[in-house]
Homo-oligomer: A and B are copies of this chain.
Amino acid sequence: MEAISPSKSLVDKTYGALLDAICTGEFRPGQRLGQDEIAERLKVSRQPVNSAIAMLRAQRFVIDTGRRGVEVAPVDAKLFESIYQVRGAIEPLAVELATPRLSPGSITRGREIVARGTRLMHANDARGVLQADIDFHTLIYELSGNEIITDMMQLNWGHLRRSMGEVLRFPGMTLQVWKEHKAIFKAMSEGSASVAADLMRQHIVNAPRRVASGTAPAESSL
């Protein structure tokens, strides 16, 4: 027998809906979030909306205006940089931990994700590519067996998706990304933990440069 209907609470569903709207850019940075309006749109009462907003505030997806209510946090270049500094430390660790724990099944899964990402990239499906990117890294987090990494990075990907939203219009620039993903996973499959970790380190160093050059070639970058 299986558990029936996960049927999450309205708070969780509201939280998910708001987070998604923020990350996809449906809610613009700086936009004010009115509880009544959200409650009406999602067909729930204000109570779950209030709880969800409290969680989003604790995670810096919305900020207090000091006055009344909250607004969507700005897409902060400084936050983006902070996340990549952290990723530079965490992702190689995740690779190191995950490599000796790879099972045949997870190797298959990883290859599938890489194949899917590569295919969607050639199909210019930017949104699908981003999802595959998230899936690839999340697989490694989970294989690491370190739930703190999984939790932390899931939050961070929420912030990253916001920044990436601006980048989605520049497909093709992710070509190199999936070559690197493939190389990383190959090294992991062969049990070369430290090699894979180094490749991942370089991958994370390269990533923000690609984003910066893709979005604002003239700017001084970050």
A: residues with CB less than 8 A from B are: 11, 47, 50-51, 54-55, 58, 60, 78-79, 82-83, 85-86, 88-90, 92-93, 97, 146-149, 151-152, 156
Chain B residue with the shortest CB-CB distance to A83: B148
Q: Are A85 and B97 interface neighbours, CB within 8 A?
A: yes
Residues from chain B with a CB closer than 8 A to the CB of A93 are 85-86, 88-89
- A55-B58, A58-B55, A147-B79 known; A152+B50 contact, CB < 8 A: no
CA gap between A88 and B89 in the complex, in Å: 9
Query: A85-B146, A85-B148 known; 4 other A-B pairs, CB under 8 Å?
Result: A60-B151, A82-B147, A82-B148, A148-B156
Of B47, B55, B79, B146, which is within 8 A of A148 by CB? B79
Min CB distance A156 to B, Å, is: 7
- 18 cross-chain CB contacts under 8 A: A11-B54, A50-B51, A54-B55, A55-B58, A60-B151, A78-B147, A79-B148, A82-B146, A85-B93, A85-B148, A86-B90, A86-B93, A86-B146, A86-B149, A86-B152, A89-B92, A89-B93, A148-B156
Residues from chain B with a CB closer than 8 A to the CB of A86 are 90, 93, 146, 148-149, 152
Min CB distance A166 to B, Å, is: 19
Which of A11, A60, A83, A89 has the largest count of B CB atoms less than 10 A from its CB?
A89
10 closest A-B pairs (Cβ-Cβ)? A89-B89, A82-B148, A82-B146, A51-B51, A89-B93, A86-B148, A51-B54, A152-B152, A11-B54, A83-B148
Residues from chain B with a CB closer than 8 A to the CB of A149 are 82, 85-86
Min CB distance A2 to B, Å, is: 14
CA gap between A11 and B86 in the complex, in Å: 30
CA gap between A78 and B86 in the complex, in Å: 22
